[in-house]
Amino acid sequence: MNTPRTLIFIGPQASGKGTQAKLLAQKINGLYIGTGSMFRKIAKEDTEFGRYIKEVLDSGALVSDKDVEEMLRENLDSTSDEQRVIFDGVPRRLSQAEFLVNYMKSLGKDDIATFYIKLSREEAISRMSARRVCVACDAAHKIADPENIKDCIKCGGKLVQRADDMPEAIQKRLDIYYHDTLPVLDYLKEHSNFYEIDGTKSIEDVQNEINQTLGITG
């Protein structure tokens, strides 16, 4: 099949959906829209909006639909007809899914595929507790022994635990995920080509499965 112009990655935190979305974007030269990292970048800015977003993110809550929509319009209004767009971190609730599907249709990108990366709550918690990010290069690492391993293997930078990877925030994020995001799946099953992928497999296996599904070779 022709690779769809709208590709949505959805799944619980630490399911690997971000990694897969970025790999696919590279492969097909698509535009990667990762709302999580975009908002984390804004949260570092010393502005009123930056401080507001930081507060929302640190608490483990979600940014508002209005903020998400504004962000999407800003990044997508000027894309060409052929440009493929890969979403990571949006939609997170039903209202966002409805907006996204209708908005992409209005841009002429109405061929939509969803990859749902499935992962159990227990596995998600265990992966998130082990996650550290590098302050220098922003790489994420799974660290089995965080007491002793404190430097990034890529660049030697300092590894830190993201505020939203702390135990309380983890529980809150997963609660929100299961409460808000699961209805999104039902909506996307109806309004896109929907593929379910086993997120416990290796990054490479998941990537191969996605490429095969899309008919991408090499």
The residue (of 72 and 159) whose beta carbon lies closer to Zn ion is 159
The residue (of 153 and 182) whose beta carbon lies closer to Zn ion is 153
Least distance to Zn ion, CB of residue 189, Å: 38
The residue (of 17 and 132) whose beta carbon lies closer to Zn ion is 132
Contact between 50 and Zn ion by CB under 5 A: the answer reads: no
The C-alpha atoms of residue 22 and residue 160 are separated, in whole angstroms, by: 22
First to last CA, the chain: 16
Q: For the sheet containing 131-134, what is the strand order?
A: 140-142, 131-134, 159-160
Contact between 137 and Zn ion by CB under 5 A: the answer reads: yes
The residue (of 94 and 136) whose beta carbon lies closer to Zn ion is 136
The residue (of 140 and 216) whose beta carbon lies closer to Zn ion is 140
Query: Cα dist. 1→5, 29, 193 in Å?
Result: 12, 17, 12
CB-neighbour burial class of residue 64 (10 A; exposed 0-12, middle 13-18, buried 19+): exposed
Least distance to Zn ion, CB of residue 130, Å: 17
In this chain, which of 28, 56, 61, 136 binds Zn ion, going by CB under 5 A? 136
The residue (of 34 and 60) whose beta carbon lies closer to Zn ion is 34
Least distance to Zn ion, CB of residue 137, Å: 3
What amino acid occupies position 146? Answer: P
Contacts of 48 (CB under 8 A, 6+ apart): none
Contact between 41 and Zn ion by CB under 5 A: the answer reads: no
> Is the omega angle on the peptide bond into residue 167 within 30 degrees of 0, that is, cis?
no
Least distance to Zn ion, CB of residue 25, Å: 21
Contact between 203 and Zn ion by CB under 5 A: the answer reads: no
User: Bridge-partner residues for 131, per DSSP?
Assistant: 142
CB-neighbour burial class of residue 148 (10 A; exposed 0-12, middle 13-18, buried 19+): exposed
Least distance to Zn ion, CB of residue 209, Å: 29
Identify residues 147-176 at the interface with Zn ion (CB under 5 A). Answer: 152, 154-155, 157
Please give the residue ranges that form the binding site for Zn ion (CB under 5 A). 134, 136-137, 139, 152, 154-155, 157
